[in-house]
Amino acid sequence: MAERKLGIFPATGGLGGSTVKHLLSLVPASRVILIARNPDKLAAESRLGVVVRRADYDDTATLERVFDGVGALFLISYASCEHEHRSRAHRIAIDAALRSGVTHIFYSSLAFAGNLTSESTALVMQAHLDTEAYLKQLARTRPSFTYTVIREGLYSESFPIYTAFFDPRKPVDEIKIPHDGSGPGVAWAKRDELGEATGKIIATYARNPLGFPYINKTLLLSGAQSLTLAEMVAVLNKILGRDVRIKKVSVDEFAAQPQNAPMLTYHGVDLSKGWATAWTAISQGECSVVTPLLTDMLGREPEDFETTVRRQIEGQQWHELQL
């Protein structure tokens, strides 16, 4: 029987692309299957010997048999802050993977829900919690199936979504959000370092599945320090040489700001008010938990928030939202 391979789906987004890069430095390309909505973006990886396939969360027919030959799959969450649609998309992909013989799923969750609890105030976390629960259910009922949930720290580069889409290229004087900036804060992490650590976790499994220490576990990859939102804005001020302030406003006033709807509308529904639950969750300490796992996997101290964001701003590099 042919050796079953490592799969990544979707493999072309920010976290997916970073994980692919680092994983391919640790395992032979011939052991990897990359699955994406736009396979043409994986031409370089294909030339290295990676198998490339096409599938799309929103085209369920493409998921059938696309995971054939994959033993362990890194399933990266559907990019949205919706709840039901997103949960359903994950479940359909997981079921398709099981029919293809996948026996272990790594799932990219998000660093809300406090110290690895199963409850969150944030809308953006609800589909993640549903998916985590489904994986746990499958592991209880299918003796041959295992999982590893990786709660990826909030990207340092994603700070705009937590600052009412503050744009350093066109800075405003007030950041109007339903939060006063005080603690608890957020343990920000650099996206590429999350991809590096995730790649190392997957490679550890590939080398020795039977001895893998994170079977049926939920992991948290966090930055090494938690910053309050006020401290985060102080870093932005330091980089920009400005005096931007947080102004606490109502959820309705936050949602009414014109920059929000274009960024937070999914399938025709403006979820700006729902997104505001993220600040409630932050104020309750859901994102402030620091663990040593990212440091341990990197073998060095993670890059601090200021360094990452300074490079981002000076390089004018902007990424998709982390959801």
Question: What fold does the segment set 5-155+189-221 form as a domain?
Answer: Rossmann fold (3.40.50)
Strands 265-266 and 269-270: antiparallel
- pTM over 0.85? The answer is yes
The pLDDT score that the predictor gives to residue 115 is 87
Phi and psi at 319, nearest 5°, equal -120, 170
The rounded distance, in Å, linking the Cα atoms of 134 and 274 is: 23
Domains 5-155+189-221 and 156-185+224-288+304-315 share a fold: no
Q: What is the residue whose two structure tokens read 């629960």? A: 133
Question: Could you say which architecture CATH assigns to the domain 156-185+224-288+304-315?
Answer: Alpha-Beta Complex (3.90)
| Mean pLDDT, the chain cut into blocks of 10 residues (323 residues total) | 86 95 97 97 96 97 98 96 96 98 98 94 98 98 97 97 94 97 97 98 97 98 97 97 97 97 93 97 98 98 97 72 52
For the chain, domain boundaries: 5-155+189-221, 156-185+224-288+304-315
Rounded (10°) CA dihedral 88, 263, 176, 308: 90
